[in-house]
Amino acid sequence: MKKDDRILALRAAAEAIARGEFTLKIPTGNDEIGQLGKSLKKISSYLQKQLDTSQSLYKIMVECNLNLHLIDVLNHIYESFKDHLPYDRISLALLENEGNKLKLHWVRASYDELIINTGHSIPMSDSSLQTIVDPNELLIINDLSAHLEKHSESPLSQAIFKEGIRSCLICPLIANGKPIGFIFFSYRKKNTYKNLHKDLFLQIASQLAMIIEKTKLYQGVKLNKQLIEQKKTLEQRVTHDALTGLLNRAAILDILHKKVLQARRGGFGIAVIMIDIDHFKTINDTYGHLTGDAVLCETANRLLKSARSHEYIGRYGGEEFLAIVLPYDQDGALKAAERFRNAVACQEVSARRKFISVTISLGVTIGTEKETLDENLLLQKADEALYLAKHKGRNRVELIN
């Protein structure tokens, strides 16, 4: 390309960048004009990254306004920021008992070996907690092994280290000027977090604090305990299956409807898994309906225990169950289905003094584009995949897209 043509190309690229267009081809080389092109290319790449980050933050704001379910917003953050921030694990802990206790409310990680999990709580007076959290300051620990040498008495730091974490960023959540909890970003490599990450973490934390405040998840509102229990009991009866305790058909289909809408807005995939107990009629005919009910309940229990925080399980009808997994790609959906299958088949079911070998067949489908993100279409394809799994011999997973 001639010198004048390259200058014109660089000018066109600069004007495109000024308009917010970062995909234009920029000529580069080893002379002065080429070096200028390289610099312009770096600027374009940086601005594109900043734009992507801003759009991800905007999506969090949209989720906060459209969706008051904190868990769904946290799952959205976990899926949306992998291109902008380094992390293997994100955790949310909230202060309880007038700020005297810190309880872990949500965890999601890229690995299964969690030592500190949801429900774990520590008194704020515990010296091990005071070594790693400050209610008013964002803290970066870039070498947990060095930190552990200084605070070897800290059971909390020891547990985090044992889990494989080597870098942590701990950001307080502030509402009405007061700390209400912490968001933890963790990575299994040293020297991960830098000061340039702080602004983005603080913006994420402010959005989380807003939704917590909005939904009154954490507020000093003391409601009558009996009324709360009555409300929980009523909601349980309306939304859950009386026999298995799982979400009933209406509730799981309602969740599917809402998650499909979220997937369309968020631009991520949703997996639907239809599950059926193999030879259930034979179990009923051989051992009786009471034993059949016991098998049904134990199968439901194993499915529920093996489900992750972003996976929903419901009783679809009879011996059929429905699982909704999001946001997920094909590989992740198949791994989830295989995890469900193994949870049921791994050992015999003990039912009314009998040990019965129980297996399940699973049909998987995934919606990724707007035309495939249709709840009726997803159910139809999952059912077809389930039929295929049973036709091929049962106790297996099949996928149809």
Which sequence spans correspond to the domains of the chain?
Answer: 3-65, 70-214, 231-399
Please report the pLDDT score of residue 305 as a whole number. Answer: 93
Q: Considering only CA atoms, which of 127, 128, 382 is closest in space to residue 271?
A: 382
Evaluate the CA torsion angle 347, 315, 113, 267 in order and state its sign: positive
Q: What CATH fold (topology level) applies to the domain 231-399?
A: Alpha-Beta Plaits (3.30.70)
pLDDT at 344: 95
CA distance 169 to 186: 6
Position 357 scores a pLDDT of 93
- What pLDDT is recorded for position 391? 95
Q: What architecture does CATH give domain 70-214? A: 2-Layer Sandwich (3.30)
The residue ranges of DSSP E strands in 77-235, in sequence order, are 89-96, 101-109, 121-123, 139-141, 167-175, 178-187
Count CB neighbours of 81 within 10 A.
22
Contact of 264 with 373, CB cutoff 8 Å = yes
Q: How far apart are CA 360 and CA 346, in angstroms?
A: 11
* Residuewise pLDDT in 10s, the chain (401 residues): 666 677 777 777 777 766 666 566 777 777 777 777 777 777 777 666 655 555 555 455 555 454 556 777 788 778 877 776 788 999 988 888 887 888 888 999 988 888 888 888 888 877 667 777 777 778 888 898 888 888 777 777 888 888 999 998 888 888 777 888 888 989 999 988 877 667 667 777 777 777 777 665 444 444 455 656 666 666 677 788 889 999 998 899 999 998 998 888 877 889 999 999 999 999 999 999 899 999 999 999 999 999 988 899 999 988 999 999 986 678 888 999 999 999 999 999 988 788 999 999 999 999 888 778 889 999 999 999 999 999 999 999 999 98
Is-same-fold flag (3-65; 231-399)? no
Q: Hey, what CATH class is 3-65 in?
A: mainly alpha
d(CA 103, CA 39): 48
Backbone angles phi, psi at 361, to 5 degrees: -110, 145
Q: Tell me, what DSSP letter sits at residue 30? A: S
Q: How far apart are CA 340 and CA 350, in angstroms?
A: 18
Residue spans of beta strands (DSSP E) within 5-161: 89-96, 101-109, 121-123, 139-141
Quick one: pLDDT at residue 381?
94
